Chain A
Amino acid sequence: MRPVMTDLTRSPTRAGALSAARALPIVCAFLLGVFVIGGTGFAQMAAAHNAAHDHRHSIGFPCH
């Protein structure tokens, strides 16, 4: 990612576009993480709870 940073400092006009181009995929990846954790840690469906039961207890999620 360093080359990107050099571009950023070199060209302020491109900087805005670049940082917006960086922010979108980063936010998408973050939201994907939230979704994944919601499934393993917080979904209240019985089957999801039972499958992930020991995991939830071990990580300190509120379980049942």
Chain B
Amino acid sequence: MTLFRTIVLLAALVGFGAGVVLTVVQQFGTQPLIVKAEVFEQARSEASAPKPHDHEPSGAHDHLAASAADVAAAEAHEHGGGDEWAPADGAERFLWTLAANVVSGVGFALLLVAASELKGGLTSWREGLFWGLAGFAVFTLAPSIGLPPEAPGVEGAPLMDRQVWWIGTAVATAAGLALLAYGRSALAALGAIVLIAAPHVIGAPQATEAPAIPRDLEHDFVVAVTVTGFVFWAAIGVLAGALRGRFAAA
């Protein structure tokens, strides 16, 4: 299983680097907007009844209404019972975000490196960058067509429905791109186009409630997430392509 170990080690390095890059971009891009949106989100949830709210460090907020979880889940920002642990604002919240960024970076790097190994492995940072662009198309662009990235305070359809559509769209887009790139026949290309278009023909589950945040904030957030995702994926691809040569002997 040396190949397995090689892929995991390479993905760990790539994911760590990309996670750090993501964290830096995020601090200037999405994070200020998240904090801004949370003010609106909180104002609404306070206005519309006593509801659990987990963005605050526990103690700073009344965690009532654990019993009203069902109602709250439907109409407000609901994370569970109401008294679950959440990182305190400041360093703790930042460190958890950094950790999540790095862990996700490793996860996405595993996908990219494994998929590229099936095709013989990356030979240069430039080739890696193209794979990174494919990752961006699959995991950022395609899902955000039907489900624009939601800032806090933007309520969507039930979470499970959105997750299912999101994952289905990513899988269909990835399969479509692979068919486009490696399929030999016109029929394969046609199948690819159908696969990529299908999730959007089916349509994403849509929200029934108007967002709590202003429209321009909503718009800025979508732009910030898209650009952040682009940089993140470019970093994964370039790092994977550049570092892979050092592991090729294994």
Contacts and interface: CB of A to CB of B under 8 A. Distances in A.
B177 interface: no
A30 to B, nearest CB: 4
Given A33-B107, A46-B84, A50-B79, A58 B121 contact: no
Contacts of A51: 86-87, 96, 99-100
Interface string B156-174: 1001001100110000000
B30 A57 contact: yes
Given A25-B3, A26-B118, A64-B78, A46 B54 contact: yes
A17 interface: no
Interface of B: 1, 3-4, 7-8, 11, 22, 26, 29-31, 34, 54-55, 77-81, 84-87, 93, 96-97, 99-101, 103-104, 106-111, 113-115, 117-118, 120-121, 139-140, 143-144, 147, 149-152, 156, 159, 162-163, 166-167, 225-226, 228-229, 232, 248
28 contacts: A26-B117, A27-B114, A29-B8, A29-B110, A30-B115, A32-B110, A33-B107, A33-B110, A36-B106, A39-B107, A40-B103, A41-B104, A45-B80, A46-B54, A49-B79, A51-B86, A54-B26, A57-B151, A57-B152, A58-B31, A59-B104, A59-B140, A59-B225, A60-B140, A60-B144, A60-B149, A60-B225, A62-B162
Given A29-B7, A34-B111, A64-B159, 12 more contacts: A26-B114, A29-B114, A32-B110, A33-B11, A47-B85, A50-B79, A53-B97, A57-B30, A58-B101, A58-B228, A59-B229, A64-B78
